[in-house]
Every structure is written in C-alpha cells, then in structure tokens.
C-alpha cells in the first residue's frame, strides 16, 4: 500500500493511470476508520482497478475549534485497516498542503445547505464542498464513495458534482450499524460507557418513525412528536433537530404521501451524533 | 471546425483525446471576437494539438440585466474569425445547459475579488470563477489563455486554479491595442463615433502614469491625481475607479518602490471600459 502526501505527486500519478486506461475509485475519509468506512473501501476495491483512500482531517469543515481538537485520530490503526481491506493507495496530505498561505477559494452549494447540518454548523458544508472538490481534482477518481449516514453531505456532494460538471460518479452506500442499532461513526469513540448505552436512542426514534409510516400514518408532526418523546426519555440525550423531509430537496414535509427522509442530530453528553432513515410509503391497498 | 453544444459530449471527447495523449488548449470567450481574442486563439493553436474556443455569454457574471442585454453578439462573424485562425473546436452551450434548473453551486475567490471590479460589479467574479471552473472541468484543457486586459480576472482565475488544484496552466497574454491606444474589447462595439474618439483617454492616463514612474516619481497619489486630471478633461468620460496596486495582491500601493499595476475603469457615455498597465520601477542609478 503506497502513501502519498503531496497533491501534485498524487495528481500526476492519477493522470498517468487514467491515460493507461485504469479506473480509479476514491473513498474520502477523515481517518478513525470504522465499519462504515470499511464497507465503502471494500466496495471501492471491488469496483475499480485502483482504490484510493484519502485521509485528511479537514479544518475547513469544523465550525468549532474544540470539535476539531476532539476529533478522534488513529493513523496507525487506520493504515492497518486500510491495508487489510486492500486499499492500494492512501492520499494523506497535511493541512498546509491543502490550504497553503494565501488560500482563498471556496465552493458553496446553496439551497441544499441552508437547513439541518448547514444551519447547526455554519460554514460546515462550504468546508466539505471545498475539500471534496479539491480531493476530486487531485485524485481524479472515476467513482467516489460516501456513506448514507451523512445524508445531507452525500446530497451536497452529488449536487456539486453535477453542477460543476465534475467527471465522476458519486456512489452512496447504506448506513452500517452496530448490534444495538447505533450508526457507525468516528464520533462514537468519544462516548463514555454510559453515553454509549444511551446512544442507540437515535435509532430507536427512527425505527418508531418508520413503523408509524408503514402503518399508514401521514402526519409528520405526530411522528416527530413521538420521536421527541423517545429521545427526551433518555436523560443523557438532547435534541439538536429532528425533521421529516423531502428525500432530495430536504425541505420539511408535513403530509407523508411519498418517500421521506427522517433526519436527526442529538447531543449525547458532549458528543453530537447524527442519523437518518429513508422511508418508503406503503402502496395503497 | 467542429461545434459542440452539449457539456457531456464535449467532456467525453476531451477525455478521449487526453487518453490518446493529445494536448488541449482552451480560449474562453463570450463571443464578439476582436484582435485581443484572435491573439489568444493564435497562440492556443500554436501551442496545442487541439485548440478549443468556448463561446458562452455567461449570465452569472453580469450584475446588471441591461449590461447583459447590451452585450454585443455576432455569432456568424465569430465562427468565421475562429475558423480563419485555425480553431479546431467551438464549445457553445446554451445557458440552460450550463445552469440547468436547480443549479446552486458557486465558486468564490475571496481576498482578490473584494476591490476594483469586484466592488463595482457585485457577484461578477463569483460568476466568472464558477463558469471558468465549469469550462475547465468540461473541456479539460492542459492550457487556458486569458488576456491581460481583464487583469483582475486573470489573477482570480490563476488563484482559483491553484487553490482548487485544477490540473492546467493559465497563460496570460498582453493587451492588444488599436492604433490610438484603445485596448481591444467587445464593449468598444457599443461606443458611438464621438465616444470612440474619447475612449483612448484611458490609455493616455496610463501612459502618463508610466512616464512618471519611469522618471522616478514614487508617490502614487500624485500620479493618480494627474491621471484623474487627464480623464476629467474629457467631457464624455466619468471615472469609476483609478488605482495603483500591488501587481499580485491588488492592494493599493502608496509609495512605488517595486512593480505596480495601474488599474482603471471609466464610463464613456453608457459604456464602461477598463484598462491597465503593469509598470516596472527603473533600477536605481
């Protein structure tokens, strides 16, 4: 497994491989790899001639310095896991290589970023869109893999790729969950044992919402109210937002007549977790 | 000379040509071709295996609707001129192809766009950076050519290419002037005969500035004052801005001890013209 640090070196290698007709896949990560990442990496390896993992904790997407400082890091473990699933190349630049002195260009996706994570974390999606655009121009993948766990992020990246005519396909893979339903996330590493026990409450709320929709309930507010009750019953949990939205535009939906996505962000102690569920409406009898 | 309208078709052709090892050059234009454009197209043809001219009047870079409506257009003449200088391929999309419904992604270059054209034309450089990024991802050139006449634009594009790691070289070519010194510009087409007679006043002011610097004058304000006098002596002219700046950062310079660029924007009747001069400071005796 090769490790490349310099953007120009990575780009030259990718350009050469593309000219040789090789198909390149990219999984962008911020390290602290978990089963969700590994599912992306395995799929990337299976579908491409060369699978690249980027490893870069992007300062531009953190709205709070303490959040950046607390982000879990385990490079040694990450390299081992990446090698074990067959990653061919790790692109791991420093912050100074990605944002050298005088850096001043940013990519903004507008409507899709106004609500939810965009509203709770000002500047977050600007940082995401910018770094992902840069990773795409540096690594030049034919396909890039993202997890559905960061649902809004996945839509923002797809929209950016379409709008800026970036020549690649964005592939979104399902959420990987632990046995008790907690969505795999690097942030789970920061949970204390008690918090870890409380954390599946996000999934419980999503399951309740899904069951209600399957049972034919169409009023979003009644379902959201039930979700709030479930989460508020957990003393360590504090809701940031819960929403029932159009699955592509992410605008709130009041009456559920077509597929919707339930999005939620919940603080468990000092750790903020997000989760979501895409729910189909049952066919009418 | 081939003409392509669809972004995807252009991109697929460029990708194929790159895989065949061909070197591609791009000259982005908004049509209404003049000698300045032709100098870029000739150089592009000489330095590349395939020379592409894009022809797209980009609505996103016009801050005023009347300015967009008044922008000169002569597609038939443009195609003839392009063919005559040996352009291989014209990429000419419609606005709907570049900005389809739901479009919402923009590229912003920050510090460099705050002053001068950026201040006079809000949103202008956001539109420029966005469309140029898109043209680069669609046409995939190895080299792209811009005129020094739009000095700030050229710096903004270079900065964006560097910051977003776009894999191409931006080449800036000198201003082409008419016999009386007026810089070639599509906007010159909108001048009445009297206005056309008045328009060289921009160049006269720049020449005066250059002579003063060559004579050893170091005070920028005295030189700018002399430039203002020259322009204000012309009844049809009205200054938007005149500035003496650092040639890379475009911040105002008070004491001229190194190279500077003089930038100016002047209304001649209802037409706004810009011009500039990069001036070296003479070596000390």
Residues 6+ apart with CB under 8 A from A65: none
Residue-averaged pLDDT of chain A:
97
* B235 close contact with A: CB closer than 8 A: no
**Residue B105 to residue A167, Cβ atoms within 8 A:** no
Architecture of domain B186-279: 2-Layer Sandwich (3.30)
Residue B74: pLDDT over 80:
yes
Query: Residue B231's pLDDT is what?
Result: 98
Q: Which of B19, B105, B163 sits opposite A103 (nearest CB)?
A: B163
pLDDT digit string, tens, across residues A138-160 = 999 999 999 999 999 999 999 99
Active site residue B124: no
Residue B24: pLDDT over 80:
yes
A-chain CB neighbours of B15 within 8 Å are 167
Residue A284: pLDDT over 70:
no
Domain boundaries along the sequence of chain A: 2-173, 186-275
B-chain CB neighbours of A56 within 8 Å are none
Query: Which run of H or of E encompasses B106?
Result: strand B105-109
Gap from B164 CA to chain A (nearest CA, Å): 5
Please give the Cα distance from B66 to B61 (Å, whole number): 13
Please give the Cα distance from B64 to B200 (Å, whole number): 25
Residue A249: pLDDT over 70:
yes
Per-residue buried b or exposed e for A181-216, using 16+ beta carbons within 10 Å of the residue's own CB: ebbbbbbbebbeeebbebbbbbbbbbeebbebbeee
Half-sphere exposure of A124 (CA within 13 A, CB side): 21
The residue with greater pLDDT, A80 or A282, is A80
Mean pLDDT of all residues in A182-187: 97
The interface predicted TM-score (ipTM) is 0.96
Residue A285: pLDDT over 60:
no
Count CB pairs under 8 A between chains A and B: 76
Gap from A142 CA to chain B (nearest CA, Å): 12
pLDDT bin (cut points 50, 70, 90) of residue B282 is confident
Per-residue buried b or exposed e for A224-234, using 16+ beta carbons within 10 Å of the residue's own CB: beebeebbeeb
Query: Which run of H or of E encompasses B209?
Result: helix B201-214
CB B184 within 8 A of CB B176: yes
pLDDT digit string, tens, across residues B253-270 = 999 999 999 999 999 999
Q: Which of A105, A138, A164 sits opposite B137 (nearest CB)?
A: A164
Residues in chain A: 285
Among chain A residues, the shortest Cα distance to B168 is held by A137
Please give the full DSSP string across B140-161, using - where no structure is assigned. --SEEEEETTSHHHHHHHHHHH
pLDDT digit string, tens, across residues A214-234 = 999 999 999 999 999 999 999
Most A CBs within 10 A among B164, B246, B248, hence the mutation to make, goes to B164
In chain B, pLDDT over 90 holds for what percent of residues?
Answer: 98
Mean pLDDT of all residues in B100-117: 98
Query: Residue A282's pLDDT is what?
Result: 81
pLDDT bin (cut points 50, 70, 90) of residue B221 is very high
Pairing of strands A260-268, A237-245: antiparallel
Please give the full DSSP string across A13-61, using - where no structure is assigned. HHHHHHHTT--EEEEEE-S---HHHHHHHHHHHHH-SEEEEEE---GGG
pLDDT bin (cut points 50, 70, 90) of residue A61 is very high
Among chain B residues, the shortest Cα distance to A133 is held by B164
Query: Residue A105's pLDDT is what?
Result: 98
Please give the Cα distance from B194 to A33 (Å, whole number): 70
* A111 close contact with B: CB closer than 8 A: yes
Report domain B2-173's class: alpha beta
The CATH classification of domain A186-275, taken from the options 3.30.1300.10, 1.10.510.10, 3.20.110.10, 3.90.1580.10: 3.30.1300.10
């Amino acid at each position: 497994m090769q490790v490349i640090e310099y953007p120009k070196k990575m780009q030259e290698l990718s350009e050469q491989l593309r000219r040789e007709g090789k198909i390149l896949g990219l999984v962008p990560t911020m390290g602290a790899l978990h089963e969700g990442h590994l599912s992306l990496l395995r799929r990337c390896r299976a579908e491409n001639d060369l699978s690249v993992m980027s490893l870069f904790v992007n300062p531009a997407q953190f709205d709070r310095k303490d959040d950046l400082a607390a982000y879990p890091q385990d490079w040694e473990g990450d390299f081992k896991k990446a090698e074990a699933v067959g990653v061919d190349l790790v692109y791991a630049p420093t912050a100074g290589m990605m944002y050298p002195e005088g850096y001043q260009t940013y990519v903004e996706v507008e409507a899709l970023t106004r609500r939810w994570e965009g509203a709770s974390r000002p500047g977050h999606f600007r940082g995401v869109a910018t770094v992902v655009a840069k990773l795409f121009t540096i690594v030049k993948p034919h396909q890039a893999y993202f997890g559905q766990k960061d649902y809004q992020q996945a839509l923002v990246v797809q929209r950016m790729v379409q709008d800026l005519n970036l020549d690649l396909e964005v592939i979104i893979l399902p959420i990987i969950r632990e046995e008790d339903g907690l969505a795999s996330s690097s942030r789970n590493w920061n949970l204390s044992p008690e918090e870890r026990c409380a954390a599946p409450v996000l999934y419980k709320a999503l399951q309740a919402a899904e069951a209600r929709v399957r049972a034919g309930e169409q009023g979003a507010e009644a379902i959201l109210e039930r979700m709030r009750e479930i989460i508020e019953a957990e003393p360590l949990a504090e809701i940031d937002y819960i929403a029932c939205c159009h699955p592509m535009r992410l605008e709130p939906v009041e009456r559920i007549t077509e597929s919707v996505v339930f999005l939620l962000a919940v603080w468990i102690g000092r750790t903020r977790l997000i989760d979501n569920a895409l729910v189909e409406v049952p066919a009418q009898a």
